[in-house]
Structure 1
């Protein structure tokens, strides 16, 4: 029997109007993963008027998205893209560079890919 591991872990820290949101994704993300995570994000964002979000996305174990999950991700980006100041993506997969460029179309702030976690976190704080 093979165990298929997938999902998103989220951490949210709030300092006044700034939010630091950290995500760790593994496996192939599903629509169900987004149904679980979306209310958590919506709740955190609803608490702050004009949130400023810096996000750390650990994609080092991410294999991709199911089509419906990719649509869910796009909808979140369209709804909250103006709130993001910076998104640091951690991973070594070649397709992450392409994904970051697409993400830049939907996010007002900067998106950058890193292979080193400390560099990513330093860039978010700068």
Structure 2
């Protein structure tokens, strides 16, 4: 997945993202550090990040990210996925 995103960043510069998180099983500290390294590398290239998931901690994390990062980030539940796409595209 990272290489696909690298191509998108290279082609478009700034991007909006819809991240659908179905499970965190198998996601540990190593994966967290890899994600963190990727995010810092592209820190100024994210514009909007829509996180779609089920957990309350993800909702809280999206609020914290939005307050600290230079991009907008919002949390959506799976039944709000259409709204997430509209928001990410700047149409909501």
TM-score, normalization by structure 2: 0.79
* 2-structure distance, mates of 1:71, 1:45: 20
Greater fraction of residues in helix: 2
The match for 2:73 is 111
Matched, 1:88 2:50: yes
Equivalent residue for 1:56?
A: 18
User: Is the Cα contact below 8 Å between 1:96 and 1:113 reproduced in 2?
Assistant: yes
Going from structure 1 to structure 2, the CA distance change for 1:118 and 1:43 (only over 3 Å counts) comes to: closer
In the alignment, the residues of structure 1 paired with residue 70 and residue 18 of structure 2 have an alpha-carbon distance, to the nearest angstrom, of 16
For structure 2, the residue ranges without an aligned partner over 5 or more in a row are none
8 Å CA contact retained: 2:62, 2:73: yes
* Contact 2:9–2:45 (8 Å) recurs in 1: no
User: Do the aligned partners of 1:58 and 1:89 also contact (CA within 8 Å) in 2?
Assistant: yes
1:71 and 2:22 equivalent?
no
The answer to whether the aligner puts 1:120 opposite 2:84 as a matched pair is: yes
Return the offset for 1:92.
1.8
Structure richer in strand, relative to its length: 1
Contact 1:56 1:120 in 2 (8 A): yes
Corresponding residue pairs, total: 86
- The structure with the largest alpha-carbon Rg is 1
Residues 83, 108 of structure 1: 8 Å contact kept: no
Separation of aligned partners in 2, 1:123 and 1:58? 14
